[in-house]
């Protein structure tokens, strides 16, 4: 074992990793055990690195206990796609998988990937095999490694966008785990006799916790760059990509009742030329590998490593390992962290349509057949589909002559220009929460639409139905829908009860602040109505909701803004 770990009181997860034989564990044996729908406890941890979480249907929990049955165990599978790009053929294959093995829906995530829910153990290997047959993968979409790399999903928005997308894909591939366990377990590849796995960066211990990287291109912060362990802000000069302002230490998850856990936005430590980004990122990851907390997983994210030892310590360690110093940061400006909906013409002369997908759930409802519409589009589309960091979808590379046909399909299925899609709704996000997430205290995705229905009545009464206010809801403080960056944020505390936060910036560079705790729906509406009314009457020109509630002292400004080292 590494000398740094020998004398530590390691967490259970660390022991599981250390004895896993590079993530193999006994997953093969667990999959073949017919006596339970679950995996071995250690394998439940290890399977995350392979792109899956074991869950169970919480809606059926009481009923199954009464029948003396084990929980209805099922698996979530997450697909890796750097920058969120998939071909029409891949979309059709994934759509079919959701019906064949999942719950009939697909979830577009806040990290530009796909999730499938409701997969039974007997179908798990078949599902992962089928995903790989589409030339996609589930490897490293979960676990203590670098996750799916995010960036603006439209490389044809400008030449710089294309260059940034290519770098995101390169970073994603570079930091994939090198173990062959994934191919052996899921793809029936034989382990080469006498061969030994080598993880030159991760080692056999992997990282203390998950690690996230995202690239943003001003003025759009559409992937919430400051919420990531490493954030890269593109810097251009004379329409050429020069490099990136390098941000470190972002992460939004926390735990109720534990003050040692908290959301934190990344700090800007300087400017890095584009050809040196991977070298610096690898060095940063290695520092977290060596100094991150392996005793307490709640304090194991990179943000806590920096705060425990100090940002100056980190920068000195980084420079020492690099053997050179990064430059001072360059000016930049973000205006929004939302998506721009509708048609946009790309640098290649083709058209791109950004489509609102409520909370990323691709499904059919009465009068709103989104899943059917997208499957039909995939059958005729010459371009591809691109997932945004806000759970939405871009239909891309459409010829001028084909725009009308695209709109016709969406209109026929009730998707195009749906009148329910108000400014508040189109700027909303929610995590899965109940019924499948084992961490959720309350509803999120299944509840937020109905809450927005009621909030929209207040917005219309005040002439604000088209106003863009970022509203985000999570079923727990792990922050999968980045509720800490919502101008209005809700975090579930118990069934039907939410903490309400306000005051995040509209461009994603300021956290929100707790307003009131344990609010019911009735209390939420009572609290928000006078604030929205005042906003409609007293806001200054161009003032966003998050800035308004701070200016009016409705909430105090967060005491942890983004720090920029000179």
Catalytic residue annotation: 78, 147, 210, 212, 431, 437, 476, 480
**Rounded distance, CA 226 to CA 511, Å?**
10
Whether residue 288 contacts residue 211, with contact meaning beta carbons closer than 8 Å, is answered with yes
Beta strands in 94-200 (DSSP E): 106-108, 114-119
Pairing relationship of beta strands 471-474 and 428-430 according to DSSP bridges: parallel
**Among candidate residues 503, 505, 427, 501, the one with its CA nearest the CA of residue 467:** 427
- Beta-carbon contacts of 199 under 8 Å, excluding residues fewer than 6 positions away, are 22, 177, 178, 179, 206
Tell me 156's DSSP state.
Answer: G
**Among candidate residues 554, 522, 519, the one with its CA nearest the CA of residue 535:** 554
Residue count (the chain): 566
**Among candidate residues 406, 390, 389, 391, the one with its CA nearest the CA of residue 352:** 406
**Rounded distance, CA 198 to CA 191, Å?**
13
**Among candidate residues 78, 85, 137, the one with its CA nearest the CA of residue 386:** 85
**Rounded distance, CA 536 to CA 559, Å?**
27
Residues facing residue 384 across a β-bridge: none
**Rounded distance, CA 206 to CA 476, Å?**
26
Quickly list H helices, 381-470: 403-412, 423-426, 448-461
Residues 490, 145, 510: CA angle, nearest 5 degrees: 35
Please give the full DSSP string across 310-362, using - where no structure is assigned.
-HHHHHHHHHHHHTS-PBPP------BSS---EEEE-TTS-EEEEE--GGGEE
Residues facing residue 353 across a β-bridge: 343, 395
Structure tokens at 5: 């770990």
Return phi, psi of residue 122, to 5°: -65, -20
**Among candidate residues 329, 344, 429, the one with its CA nearest the CA of residue 153:** 344
Q: Give a three-class secondary structure readout of 15-28.
A: HHHHCCCCCCCCHH
Whether residue 114 contacts residue 388, with contact meaning beta carbons closer than 8 Å, is answered with no
**Rounded distance, CA 263 to CA 252, Å?**
4
């Amino acid at each position: 074992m590494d000398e740094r770990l020998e004398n530590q009181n390691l967490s259970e997860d660390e022991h599981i990793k250390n004895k896993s034989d590079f993530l193999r564990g006994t997953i093969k044996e667990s999959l073949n055990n017919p006596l339970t729908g679950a995996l071995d406890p250690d394998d439940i941890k290890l399977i995350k690195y392979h792109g899956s979480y074991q869950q169970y249907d919480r809606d059926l929990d009481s009923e199954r206990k009464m029948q003396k049955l084990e929980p209805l165990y099922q698996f979530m599978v997450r697909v890796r796609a750097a920058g969120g790009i998939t071909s029409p053929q891949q979309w059709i294959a994934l759509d079919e998988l959701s019906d064949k093995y999942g719950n009939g829906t697909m979830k577009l995530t806040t990290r530009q990937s796909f999730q499938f829910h409701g997969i039974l153990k007997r179908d798990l290997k078949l599902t992962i095999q089928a995903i790989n047959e589409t030339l996609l993968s589930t490897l490293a979409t979960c676990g203590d490694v670098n996750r799916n790399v995010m960036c603006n999903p439209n490389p044809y928005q400008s030449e710089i966008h294309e260059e940034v997308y290519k770098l995101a894909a390169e970073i994603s591939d570079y930091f994939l785990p090198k173990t062959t366990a994934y191919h052996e377990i899921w793809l029936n590849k034989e382990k080469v006799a006498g061969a030994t796995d080598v993880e030159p960066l991760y080692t056999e211990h992997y990282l203390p916790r998950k690690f996230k990287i995202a690239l943003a291109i001003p003025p759009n912060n559409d992937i919430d760059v400051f919420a990531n362990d490493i954030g890269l802000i593109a810097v251009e000069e004379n329409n050429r990509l020069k490099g990136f302002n390098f941000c470190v230490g972002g992460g939004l998850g926390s735990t109720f009742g534990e003050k040692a856990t908290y959301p934190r936005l990344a700090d800007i430590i300087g400017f890095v030329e584009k050809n040196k980004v991977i070298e610096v990122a690898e060095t940063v990851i290695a520092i977290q590998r060596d100094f991150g907390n392996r005793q307490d997983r709640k304090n194991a994210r990179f943000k806590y490593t920096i705060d425990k030892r100090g940002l100056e310590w980190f920068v000195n360690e980084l420079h020492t390992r690099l053997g050179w110093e990064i430059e001072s940061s360059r000016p930049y400006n973000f205006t929004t962290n939302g998506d721009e909906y509708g048609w946009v013409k790309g640098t290649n002369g083709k058209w791109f349509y950004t489509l609102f997908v409520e909370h990323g759930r691709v499904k059919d409802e009465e009068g709103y057949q989104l899943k059917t519409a997208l499957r039909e589009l995939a059958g005729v589309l010459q371009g591809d589909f691109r997932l945004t960091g806000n759970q939405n979808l871009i239909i891309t590379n459409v010829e001028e002559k084909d725009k009308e046909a695209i709109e016709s399909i969406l209109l026929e299925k009730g998707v195009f220009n749906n009148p329910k899609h108000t400014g508040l709704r189109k700027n909303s996000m929610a995590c899965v929460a109940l019924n499948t997430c084992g961490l959720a205290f309350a509803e999120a995705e299944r509840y937020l639409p109905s809450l927005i229905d009621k909030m929209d009545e207040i917005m219309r009464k005040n002439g604000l139905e088209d106003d863009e206010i970022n509203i985000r809801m999570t079923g727990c403080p792990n922050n999968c829908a980045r509720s800490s960056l919502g101008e209005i944020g809700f975090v579930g505390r118990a069934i039907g009860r939410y903490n309400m936060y306000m005051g995040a910036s509209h461009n994603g560079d300021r956290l929100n602040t707790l307003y009131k705790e344990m609010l019911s729906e009735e209390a939420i509406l009572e609290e928000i109505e006078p604030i929205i009314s005042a906003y409609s009457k007293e806001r200054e020109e161009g003032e966003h909701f998050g800035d308004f509630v701070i200016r009016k002292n409705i909430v105090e400004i967060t005491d942890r803004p983004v720090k920029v080292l000179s």
